[in-house]
Chains A and B, each alone.
Chain A
Amino acid sequence: MSTTKKSNEIIAANVSKTFGAGPFAKEVIKDCSFTIESGKLTVMIGPSGCGKSSLIQLIAGFDQPTSGSITIGGRPIDGPGKDRLVLFQESALFPWMTTWDNVMYGPRARGEDAAASEAQAEFLLKKVGLEAFRDKFPAQLSGGMQRRAELARAMINKPEVMILDEPFRGLDHMSKELMWEYYAGLYEEDRNTNFFVTTDIDEAIFLADRLLIMTNLPTSTRSVIEIDIPRPRNIEAMADSKQANDIKTEVMTLLHEEAMKSFSGGSAAAADFLDAYSKRAG
């Protein structure tokens, strides 16, 4: 199947983004290059407030880089498009529409064939387990249900690339783990290009094929780790896996260094913790 898919590799080359001008200019992204490979789940992790969301705005086409270029399948990105759909941090379900109308928004907005898209919406609602909630408003759904409804609303548009900006932030730990397994399952089914941004190390390692580790502000790519733990992955097995824990230590070390840069005065406690953790893992 993957052989027939056309490439939708996203390449960011020497991207910089500065907000404001003159003495108030703030450089958020600096000379940042990375590749989101076609048909892979790429996870980007970095300290919070490091400019990851600004990068998403650029990839989604809501904003333009100050310098450098971003291309998808070789074409430059010059605006938002349904080939790249974004799932935002906070739920962006339209509160005034029922689950059904939310899912149907994209096809209706583009004036697509009603019967075909209704069948697809029904199929997707069943897939995310919300067929009994089709006539509920978002406020009547739990946090996890809202995220699943949003996944369905995005998937109905058959995006070439799904961009997820810390989508499970704010969920409690149990729902979060369930959502990881659920989302990983969806990804494994069709192996579309996925770009997932997070600050959660466990989440990153559980989900990623490739892990991009970002520097602190102004952000750029610190390092790239390929995670070849076989799929489907399992939460408990991952917790016991030496491979996963080695990666975790490596990522923590890198992220700790980056976090320390923004932590004026440093933090002895954090250093001690990291030291203790590396001993345990080793």
Chain B
Amino acid sequence: MNITKVLRKFSGRAALRGVIAIIVFIAIWEFGSRSLDLIGWRMPFVGLIPPPSSVLASWTGLFMEPSYWQSWYMSFLRVFTGFIVAMIIGIPLGLYMAINRTFYGIAFPSFEILRPIPPLAWVPASIIFWPTQEMSIAFVTFLGAFYTIVINVLGGAKSINRQYLQAAQSMGASQRDIFRRIVLPATLPSIVVGSAVGMGITWEVVVAAEMISGGGAGGGASGGLGFFIWSSYVGGSYEQIIVGMISIGIAGYISSELLRKLGGRFTPWLKTR
């Protein structure tokens, strides 16, 4: 019981440290941005970007703007479409490669050749072979998560402790039962890890894809957060660039947290370690 108390106290302190660090960071940023007015000398780098106070002002202005929230919605939609499709295809593919040697021999070499190609290198090709721009963005997003998920599932399923399989076998379990109650749960932690990493890559990819493709067919409002940043840059609204960047940070954090919560629910035994 003492240990948990100490931990709680420590985590309170750690939280405080975090809050103070963020406040100091914002203060330095504010000062740096206004350094030309305040001390007559422009601080390098920080002096060129708008101060947090005007970013905040621009942000509160955007709160009432439906197109801003539309950008959030579009990016989330693309991330989750790509991500969910990657899970639906990637998890069975990884599992099947792990349990079937013939299929592994057929699929793995091609997979390994395609894997190093960065998802963004697929942008022009996917614009060509998908009928709508929306589909090409979703496809590139899908690729971002797909390889990571497959590799993690494959690795996880292949490294199952052989004794688990032998124990189940000698207790008279069928192949079906072994797959359902041994292979699948033993691979779950790797699925969760693969998904978390894949989710991170998905956000990186979606933003870049939105910038390159210039948003969806509807232009501006359907562009997503990546296009929001790009159009702010083109329009010269530097405050909005930073609003867009922070928005992506928050969106990515929300997605990871959601995934962690969900993953923890599927793997309750890992929490007891």
Contacts and interface: CB of A to CB of B under 8 A. Distances in A.
Interface stretch (A11-19, A23-31, A91-99, A227-235): A91-99
Interface of B: 161, 163-164, 166-174, 177, 181-182, 185-186, 188, 267-269, 272-273
Given A96-B267, A139-B269, A140-B272, A80 B164 contact: no
Give the secondary structure class of B's interface: helix
Contacts of A97: 185, 269
A84 interface: yes
Given A105-B181, A109-B177, A137-B269, A90 B171 contact: no
Contact of A81 (B168, B172, B188, B272): B172
Nearest to A141: B272
A106 interface: yes
B173 to A, nearest CB: 4
B161 to A, nearest CB: 7
A197 to B, nearest CB: 15
Contacts, number: 72
Contacts of A61: 170
A219 to B, nearest CB: 21
B88 to A, nearest CB: 22
A60 B170 contact: yes
A88 B170 CA distance: 12
A137 B267 CA distance: 11
Q: Which of A95, A96, A139 counts the most B-chain CB atoms under 10 A from its CB?
A: A96
Interface string A94-129: 111100000001100110000000000000000000
Contacts of B267: 96
Nearest to B169: A80
Given A62-B166, A94-B164, A106 B172 contact: yes
A240 to B, nearest CB: 38
B166 A60 contact: yes
Contact of A105 (B171, B188, B269): B171
18 contacts: A61-B170, A62-B166, A62-B169, A80-B166, A80-B170, A85-B170, A86-B170, A90-B161, A92-B167, A94-B164, A94-B186, A95-B269, A96-B185, A97-B269, A109-B172, A110-B171, A138-B269, A153-B171
Interface of A: 60-62, 80-82, 84-86, 88, 90, 92, 94-97, 105-106, 109-110, 136-140, 153, 157
Contact of B168 (A88, A105, A136): A105
B163 A94 contact: no
The 9 A-B pairs with the shortest beta carbon distances in the complex, nearest first, are: A109-B173, A106-B171, A96-B185, A92-B163, A137-B269, A80-B170, A82-B172, A92-B167, A88-B163
A163 B267 CA distance: 31
Contacts of B268: 137
Given A81-B172, A82-B170, 8 more contacts: A61-B170, A80-B170, A88-B163, A94-B181, A95-B269, A96-B186, A106-B171, A109-B172
A218 B186 CA distance: 35
B188 A88 contact: no
A94 B188 CA distance: 13
A138 B268 CA distance: 12
Contact of B174 (A85, A109, A137, A140): A109
B236 to A, nearest CB: 55
Contacts of A82: 170-172
A82 B173 CA distance: 9
Nearest to B166: A62
Contacts of B161: 90, 92
B273 A139 contact: yes
A182 to B, nearest CB: 21
A92 B268 CA distance: 18
A162 to B, nearest CB: 11
B272 A139 contact: yes
The interface centre, meaning the residue of B170, B172, B268 with most chain A CB atoms within 10 A of its CB, is B170
A61 B273 CA distance: 34
A157 B269 contact: no
